[in-house]
Structure 1
Amino acid sequence: MNIHEYQAKELFEKFGVPSPNGKVAGSAAEAQAVAEEIGGGNYVVKAQVHAGGRGKGTFKNGFQGGVHLDSDPVKIGEIAGQMIGETLVTKQTGEEGKLVRKVMVAESVDIVHEYYLSILMDRATSRPVIVASVEGGMDIEEVAENRPEKILKQFIHPLAGLQGYEVRKLIKGLGLSKDAGKQFAKLLTNLYKLFIESDCAMVEINPLVETTDDRILALDAKFGFDDNALYRHPDIMAYRDKDEEDPREVAAGEYDLNYIGLDGNIACLVNGAGLAMATMDIIKHAGGDPANFLDVGGGATKEQVAAAFKIITGDPNVEAILINIFGGIMDCNVIAEGVVAASKEVGLNIPLVVRLEGNNVEAGKKTLQESGLNLITGDDILDAAKKVVAATQAA
């Protein structure tokens, strides 16, 4: 799960991670009021969407940029009015863009230097790792590729936690002065506490800034959370913005289905994550492109299968469907009944290729044969993949 920047700011305040004064606004009038409340100096107004590259983005109404600076609260309100209710297109949103429903208004600070700072889980070592760089405010991937010597990494023992000497190594590597180093040490300690206690998968501050008035502040932040641990954090769950998520994935979550939308045209309905991955691979091997990852699990009900089928047929890019079921725990007939029910409800009019094996497979095949559906059977996974690819090419 991801959260908005203004929500990240609320978490920072809770854990004592310093950031510029600011609040969220849902209208031009609210944005102006926030600026007036902050008072004095310059202000920054930022579109709140789950995507990077906002500053260089373009709104479909022609307004340029999702991040703007101004010293006049009235002007801040006018800028917010150009953003709220409009669609912002960035390099991360794709051409469809993201609808901006809120903006964040914050004090603008004068920056001496920008740094990069993040904490994430390193899968290779199963440890948290702190990544820092003196080159903040830009894509860390570009820095890592072109100037890898500018990237600092500090692995943290999960039981020992963040140690003082590890913080000092990072301070030295970033070249921070004595006072800035003390502020950084406190910020990093609190940030690590936030990371651990909130079950984060990633927290990224880009940029972390040193200001002309000698403050170290988190200027922009991105969070990712371990979805499997969110049940422990109802306060963080309350931050979830379903409007920012793929509606297909939201619908799948309501039925406890494991679904990820992709860009292909062949939908997959499979039981088991490993088999689902293998099915996607073999579709590619046969010359096709999978439209989704969909694992209905080992004990799916008829209702879950029907819901899964409706989700994949609701994707306008889908030109054919491959159902690949191996019934170990799963009853093949349950799958068949769910598919038949959903097909009749949605009025299926695209090719359907089915491969069933395992528990109660004969009953499942009989249900499909007697359904009256126009389907194609696959003898094995490769045969099914070739047939579904051929069906899309024939169409």
Structure 2
Amino acid sequence: MDLYEHQARELFAEHGIVVPRAEVTDSAARARGIARGLGGRVVVKAQVRTGGRGKAGGVRLAPDPAAAERTARRILGMEINGHPVRAVMLAEPVDIDAEFYVSYVLDRASGTFLAIASAEGGTEIEEVAAARPEAVARIPVDPAEGVTAAKAAQIADAAGLPPEAVDVLVRLWAVLTREDALLVEVNPLVRTTTGQLAALDGKVTLDDNARFRRERWGAQEATHDDPLEAEAAAKGLNYVKLDGEVGVIGNGAGLVMATLDVVAGCGARPADFLDIGGGASARIMADGLHVILSDPAVRSVLVNVFGGITACDAVADGIVQALDRVHLTKPLVVRLDGNNAARGRALLDARAHPLVHQATTMDGAAQQAAALALAANPS
């Protein structure tokens, strides 16, 4: 379950992470009064569970309460990446000295969490990773040890974050573990001109089975604005729709995130995040392929699997059986590596589907999937 930004900020504040004052409303008229209470000048932000709000016009600065009302009226009712805007958050603006990126995400493949951090916040982390991969630090976190002050200092040092970020990293880990989250992200974490660190934006994804989620926000908040995300959630898939043309399936959050970065580095855009975790049965593969192929923006699909406990031949068998259940209409590039990879590739060769291609490396698979997608959609 993805939280709205204002809900994520609420959790941050409860764990001692500084957030600017803000209030949420679904009324443009009410926005005027909120702006007045926040000092007049406010940032009006669409509350939707998707990225790209700023580029779509869903984040605007209003210089006074009257402008806040007009801006809220303009944003309410918008659609951003297919997500209708039903509420806006008005936040007190801050004077920014520097912007950073910090997050923790569950890496199912390795059985650990991954800390991802960068001294270049405020933009899509995928863009930073594609242009300057050395600017993004990825540090494994043992869930049994967690993020102590020493571990946080290691993360901050690797990413080039200021020393005061250590406290924020420790507190963000508390958000992840105490609230049953699978992902916590702050982008940007800013240093204000007064030297204070504050979370200007945040993402939190909670485990759908978490007692906290059910008790705090209830079943209504578990709904998904995007129909594909709703369908995927109903099938038990860990799926997030993105704005690209290459569908991505992988096993393990860290591997999937790395795959998104490599696809972006090949000049294409990933269309989704889909982590099948440790299982790749025929049903899971069929459900995943059906959801991805239902996205009209998808021009090719990349399956990137590293066999561990779940061997590659089992994954390949799931793909073969899925091909009998799903009408494949777009090219599918498969990269298998690890446990029983050769046997898995042989199973796919024997199936000999004209739209199924194989690659032996992640870079090669991403390049092939990107080329196929761009050839199908040259604009």
TM range (shorter): 0.5 to 0.7
The answer (yes or no) to whether the contact 2:101–2:118 under 8 Å persists in 1 is yes
The answer (yes or no) to whether the contact 1:230–1:237 under 8 Å persists in 2 is no
Change (3 A) 1:252 1:187: closer
Q: Map of 1:104-253 to 2, 5 A cutoff?
A: 104-176=89-161, 181-182=163-164, 184-227=165-208, 229-238=209-218, 240=221, 242=223, 244-246=225-227, 249=230, 253=234
1:123 CA drift (Å) = 2.8
Moved more, 31-40 or 13-22: 31-40
Please list the CA deviations of residues 210-259 of structure 1 after superposition, one character each: whole Å capped at 9, or x if unmatched.
Answer: 111211011111111222x3245324443725261428936984xxx557
Q: Secondary structure at the match of 2:61?
A: strand
Q: Which amino acid aligns with 1:132?
A: A
Mapped partners of 1:172, 1:115: distance in 2 = 13
Mapped partners of 1:197, 1:24: distance in 2 = 25
Mapped partners of 1:83, 1:173: distance in 2 = 39
TM-score by length of 1: 0.59
2:63 to 56, 71, 77: 71
1:26 CA drift (Å) = 0.8
Q: Secondary structure at the match of 1:39?
A: coil
Mapped partners of 1:23, 1:122: distance in 2 = 33
1:76 CA drift (Å) = 0.7
Partner of 1:274 in structure 2? 281
Larger RCO (CA under 8 A, 6+ residues apart): 2
Partner of 1:369 in structure 2? none
Partner of 1:367 in structure 2? none
1:110 CA drift (Å) = 1.0
Q: Which runs of 5+ in 2 are unaligned?
A: 246-278, 296-322, 326-350, 355-379
The answer (yes or no) to whether the contact 1:116–1:206 under 8 Å persists in 2 is yes
Identity %: 35
Q: Which amino acid aligns with 2:106?
A: M
Q: Secondary structure at the match of 1:233?
A: helix
1:154 CA drift (Å) = 2.4
1:111 CA drift (Å) = 0.7
Q: Which amino acid aligns with 1:5?
A: E
1:108 CA drift (Å) = 0.7
Change (3 A) 1:33 1:158: same
Q: Secondary structure at the match of 2:33?
A: helix
Q: Tell me whether 1:29 sits opposite 2:29 in the alignment.
A: yes
Partner of 2:345 in structure 1? none
1:159 CA drift (Å) = 1.3
The answer (yes or no) to whether the contact 1:133–1:151 under 8 Å persists in 2 is yes
Q: Which amino acid aligns with 1:244?
A: D
Q: Secondary structure at the match of 2:86?
A: coil
Mapped partners of 2:293, 2:60: distance in 1 = 40
Mapped partners of 2:105, 2:229: distance in 1 = 27
Q: Secondary structure at the match of 2:221?
A: coil
The answer (yes or no) to whether the contact 1:119–1:192 under 8 Å persists in 2 is yes
1:196 CA drift (Å) = 0.6
Mapped partners of 2:23, 2:32: distance in 1 = 11
Task: Determine which structure has more spread, i.e. the larger CA radius of gyration.
Answer: 1
The answer (yes or no) to whether the contact 1:44–1:105 under 8 Å persists in 2 is yes
1:47 CA drift (Å) = 0.8
Please list the CA deviations of residues 174-230 of structure 1 after superposition, one character each: whole Å capped at 9, or x if unmatched.
Answer: 5455xxx23x22222111011011111111111111111211011111111222x32
- Aligned alpha-carbon RMSD (Å): 3.6
Please list the CA deviations of residues 56-75 of structure 1 after superposition, one character each: whole Å capped at 9, or x if unmatched.
Answer: 11xxxxxxx11111220111
Please list the CA deviations of residues 40-97 of structure 1 after superposition, one character each: whole Å capped at 9, or x if unmatched.
Answer: 5x3100011111111111xxxxxxx111112201111110011112333xxxx2xxx3
Please list the CA deviations of residues 9-48 of structure 1 after superposition, one character each: whole Å capped at 9, or x if unmatched.
Answer: 11112222111110101111221111111125x3100011
Q: Which amino acid aligns with 1:22?
A: A
Q: Which amino acid aligns with 1:15?
A: H
TM-score by length of 2: 0.61
Q: Secondary structure at the match of 1:74?
A: helix
Change (3 A) 1:204 1:261: closer
Partner of 2:11 in structure 1? 11
Q: Which amino acid aligns with 1:37?
A: G
Q: Which runs of 5+ in 1 are unaligned?
A: 58-64, 264-271, 293-321, 325-381, 387-395
Question: How many residues of Structure 1 are paired with residues of Structure 2 in the alignment?
Answer: 267
Change (3 A) 1:250 1:175: closer
Q: Which amino acid aligns with 2:22?
A: G
The answer (yes or no) to whether the contact 2:206–2:213 under 8 Å persists in 1 is no
Q: Tell me whether 1:81 sits opposite 2:73 in the alignment.
A: yes
Change (3 A) 1:87 1:141: closer
Q: Secondary structure at the match of 1:193?
A: helix
